[in-house]
Amino acid sequence: MESRRIEESIFKALMILSLTLVVGSLIFVVGIILWRGLPVLNIDMITKTGEGGYLLGKGGGILNAIVGSIYLAAGGTIIAFFLSIGIAFYLQKEYSGGSRLSRLTRFSLDILWGTPSIVYGVFGYVVLMYFHMRASLIGGIIVIALLEIPIMTRAMEEVLRMVPVELKETSYSLGATRFETTMKVVGKQALPGLLTGVLIAFGRGIGDAASILFTAGYTDRIPGSLFDAVGSLPLAIFFQLSNPSPQVQEKAYAAALILLIIVLAISLTTRLLARKYTRFIIK
């Protein structure tokens, strides 16, 4: 009995320690960004584009990087969503029947999920070179989409798998087709979780630098077409921190703060939408 109490105390202490490390790390990172970024952040940074050398310390702002990041992440997430939702539904037992192809698909997605983002960037660069194309917005969007597909698909698959079988069977017994059951029963039941999966993938896409380093390029201008180079916040942060000037490095923290605010705003919006659609869930 005494040994059981000791084990419980040890595991409780480990859980508290783990929680403290995770929450403490988050508070530390956010605190550093706020401490270093707030004094530098000003209205010009978010309303002006770079004046031909902003990353080297010249005037202007990073509006081009803000807009570029939203273009890249939004475009990649939209493409990834339409591909991932179909794959996620196919991987359900009533569609694939647990076939060899479904098992191979899951295995491939797991490998792609663990693949470093720089590999996606190199792959995109090789493809662009093969077609004699330069770094551009469309190149970055495609690579971001490839990066997000395994994340979004696996998240969606798990959410769809959690939908009670009884709901599907009840729908079928009432004469609904498989398509109607998927759209009107399974889709509504899993909607909050699907939104969360999209958010996770979007956060990964908007914050990734390695995958777009060779495919999207960087420019001080807002892209006018899909074939123009595009700036992004992760690369702006990377280039500014690589600069030996302390004044330029300080601007990197302001850019990181802007990126943090964007991700937080998207997260809060998604949570509000998920809470709104939770009323469709049958508990």
Span of 45-59, 61-75, 87-101 with lowest mean pLDDT: 45-59
Domains along the chain with CATH numbers: 38-280 (1.10.3720.10)
- Cα–Cα separations (whole angstroms), residue 198 to 151, 152, 211, 216: 9, 6, 19, 22
- Kindly report the pTM of this predicted structure: 0.85
Confidence at 52, pLDDT banded by 50, 70, 90:
low
- pLDDT given at position 279: 63
What integer is the mean pLDDT of 213-233? 88
Q: Would you say residue 88 has pLDDT above 80? A: yes
73, 202 Cβ separation under 8 angstroms: yes
What integer is the mean pLDDT of 70-91? 92
Radius of gyration of the chain (CA): 23
Higher pLDDT, 12 or 188: 12
Mean pLDDT highest for which of 80-84, 168-172, 187-191? 80-84
- pLDDT given at position 16: 92
DSSP conformation class of 220: S
- Cα–Cα separations (whole angstroms), residue 105 to 119, 184, 260: 20, 26, 33
DSSP conformation class of 175: T
Q: Give the span between the Cα atoms of 119 and 125, in whole angstroms.
A: 10
DSSP conformation class of 60: B
Q: Would you say residue 51 has pLDDT above 60? A: yes
Strands of 155-241, DSSP E: none
- pLDDT given at position 150: 93
The two tokens of residue 142 are 């495609």
- pLDDT given at position 11: 87
Alpha-carbon 25 to chain mean position: 20
